[in-house]
Amino acid sequence: MCGIVGYAGPQGAAPVVLDGLSRLEYRGYDSAGIAVLDGGRMRSRRSVGPVENLRRTLPEEFSGAVGIGHTRWATHGPATRENAHPHRSQDGHVAVVHNGIIDNAAPLRAELAAAGVEFTSDTDTEVLAHLIAHLVARSPAGSLEEAVLDALARVEGTYGLAVVDDRRPDRLVLARNGSPLIVGLGDGETFVASDLAAIVRHTTSVVHLEDGEFATVTASGLRTFTRDGVTTSRPPVRVDGRSGHRELDGQGHHMRKEFLEQPAAARDVLRGRLDSRLGTARLDGLNLDARALRAIRRVKVIGCGSSYYVGQVGAQMIEELARVPADAEAASEFRYRDPVVEPTTLYVAVSQSGETVDTLFAVEEIRRRGGQVVGLVNVVGSSVARACDGGIYLHAGPEVSVASTKALTNMALAFALLALDLGRVRDLSIADGQRLVEALGRIPDQIQRILDDEGEIAGHAEELSLASSLLFIGRVRGYPVAREGAQKFKEITYRHAEAYQSSELKHGPLALVSPDLPTVAVVPDDELLGRNVAALHEIAARGGRLLVVTHPGVDVGGLDVRRIDVPKSEPELDPVLLTVPLQLLAYHAALELGHDVDRPRNLAKSVTVA
Ligand code: F6R
């Protein structure tokens, strides 16, 4: 959510910042802006819409060795040029880009207004620009660092912040509290970003700022320091250069490129982790030996949005295979309800980006209360990954499309591995373990077979795109699949799509059923098939149209309905495969409706505000 880029060095800030911003656009694309320091002169530009609009407004001569930029996802105030970052102080000397939310912006704003500041935007960030400028003016040495420290001592909220001052034209000052900032070290140049994707093509040597940490960045490197101004030592780490690969590789959309990558991604998450002899999974990164695994009495999964729905799939797998009570909860709710944290519960945080602030804060809260947390995270070295005690990296590769696909599939597979591991140190038999290991090994090819049916699925999508409202139904294993199907559909088609347990239809939603409201029914071939087919009859008898997502050869009660046949796995793993055609349905329906599939309105890839 919102992206920050900064640069100090000989390449000139504008091209590096603009390139970085366009790589971060998936985090927010309401508006964008840039400020550069050319010697003692600051110039800034802001514009509404994508980074390309900003690029077009820049005069040819927009040079400067130091600069900051921002791509915004609106929180305070609509997406207008005035609300876009950078925000400049009234005296024009200071410019600020900010991710996060300043909770006490209103009283600070009133105080500054009383001191004569005229505000030009509705944002909380503008408060920071004026506050810092006031404090620079008051500081005897005119120190930007001191002013930032003093300003932030008065601020409540979350921030990843980059500040420039034209009286200190060689530097950027950074501060982090709850919103990531990364500094990339080059040869005589230094890069700043809220997300590796923006800078990894320039350097793979990076420093992740910690919460409560500050930094001064110049072309020759960085100095990190604490709230008390004490210098800290932060050796750089090497990151994987491939994490910056964000090209379309000939595909029209990132979403399509990414769902087509699923067979390869699935192989990557399973690689080296399946033990067919012992029928178990090898998960060294969990940092839990057999004894520690056996001591776990309960599993609680936390995540947001689609990751939470996959968490429900995972909790069910764990309960089924390990017979350990398990459930999933939205991380955004969990941390606000004063949860009981038990030392014998294993908390599992699940996140593609590893930067979703609700998930991150929930992890921090659990750890503060003495709980142990492992992460199922895609982005290596991300905040959630670093905050956990151990985990399973998803190895899905970079995901750019706002609507997540391959990372979710890999989450479900990682949960299957975890369930297997937990099960085999308990009562799951070796035969069952081997059955599941073999089935997991077949999944990448089975996903490929679903993708090969894209044309047929697109035909169903065309019909569904005509409806203004849809139901997605499933029960037990099928229910989280239905939830994710509805989520993907509404996210990119803007159609109303609602998921229900098929068992709950009679308790209310059946009243909605009519020929105008299609139902997508997830019907695995498992012990609940008869119950699922009964629900299909209830809908058909009321004139409802059905699209049934099931397996080849499954008799759907003799009903003449449209269907998508998904290869059959073992029942415990079927949700992994049943989800895939629902991604394609949403994608093709959105295309049919002419939407920007990769950048759905009002959303951003990584939700870094609570
Ligand atoms: C939906 C989607 C979101 C994310 C959610 C959590 O397609 O992508 O619902 O699943 O915002 O994001 P991560 O997994 O990055 O924590």
Mutate to test the pocket of ligand 1, among 1, 304, 587 (most ligand atoms within 8 A of CB): 304
CA separation for the pair 404, 406 (Å, rounded): 7
* Residues 476 and 350 placed together within one structural domain of the fold: no
* Residues 229 and 260 placed together within one structural domain of the fold: no
Protein residues with CB under 6 Å of any ligand 1 atom? 304-307, 351-353, 356, 359, 403-404, 487, 491, 606-607
Please list the rounded mean pLDDT of every run of 10 residues in the chain (610 residues): 90 94 79 92 93 90 93 81 95 95 94 95 94 89 92 94 96 93 96 90 93 96 94 88 68 92 96 96 94 97 97 98 98 92 97 93 95 94 90 93 95 98 98 98 98 97 96 97 98 96 91 93 96 95 95 94 97 98 98 90 69
From 418, 449, 480, give the residue that closes a domain: 449
From 420, 449, 478, give the residue that closes a domain: 449
CA separation for the pair 293, 420 (Å, rounded): 11
* Residues 46 and 165 placed together within one structural domain of the fold: yes
| Cα dihedral sign, 153-155-159-163 | negative
* Residues 64 and 186 placed together within one structural domain of the fold: yes
The per-residue pLDDT for 569 is 97
Instruction: Tell how far the Cα of 356 is from the centroid of ligand 1, in angstroms.
Output: 8
CA separation for the pair 87, 505 (Å, rounded): 51
Of 361, 359, 282, 369, give the one whose Cα is nearest residue 328.
359
The per-residue pLDDT for 242 is 66
* Residues 283 and 189 placed together within one structural domain of the fold: no
* Residues 288 and 311 placed together within one structural domain of the fold: yes
Q: Is residue 427 part of a domain?
A: yes
* DSSP label of 429: -
* Residues 486 and 566 placed together within one structural domain of the fold: yes
DSSP calls for 233-250: ----EE--GGGG----TT
The per-residue pLDDT for 77 is 75
The per-residue pLDDT for 605 is 67
The per-residue pLDDT for 252 is 84
The per-residue pLDDT for 536 is 96
Q: Is residue 610 part of a domain?
A: no
The per-residue pLDDT for 354 is 93
CATH number at residue 435: 3.40.50.10490
Q: 227-238: per-residue pLDDT in tens?
A: 998 999 888 998
The per-residue pLDDT for 497 is 97
From 211, 240, 269, give the residue that closes a domain: 240
The token pair at 404 is 């997540």
Active-site residue, from 257, 490, 568, 605:
605
* Residues 50 and 62 placed together within one structural domain of the fold: yes
Q: Is residue 609 part of a domain?
A: no
The per-residue pLDDT for 610 is 65
Which numbered atom of ligand 1 lies nearest the CA of 606?
Answer: 15
Residue 2 annotated as catalytic: yes
* Residues 232 and 266 placed together within one structural domain of the fold: no
Residue 388 annotated as catalytic: no
Q: Is residue 436 part of a domain?
A: yes
- Residue 552 belongs to domain spanning: 453-602
- Cβ atoms of 227 and 54 closer than 8 Å: no
Count up the domains in the chain and report the number.
Answer: 3
* Residues 360 and 467 placed together within one structural domain of the fold: no
Q: Is residue 64 part of a domain?
A: yes
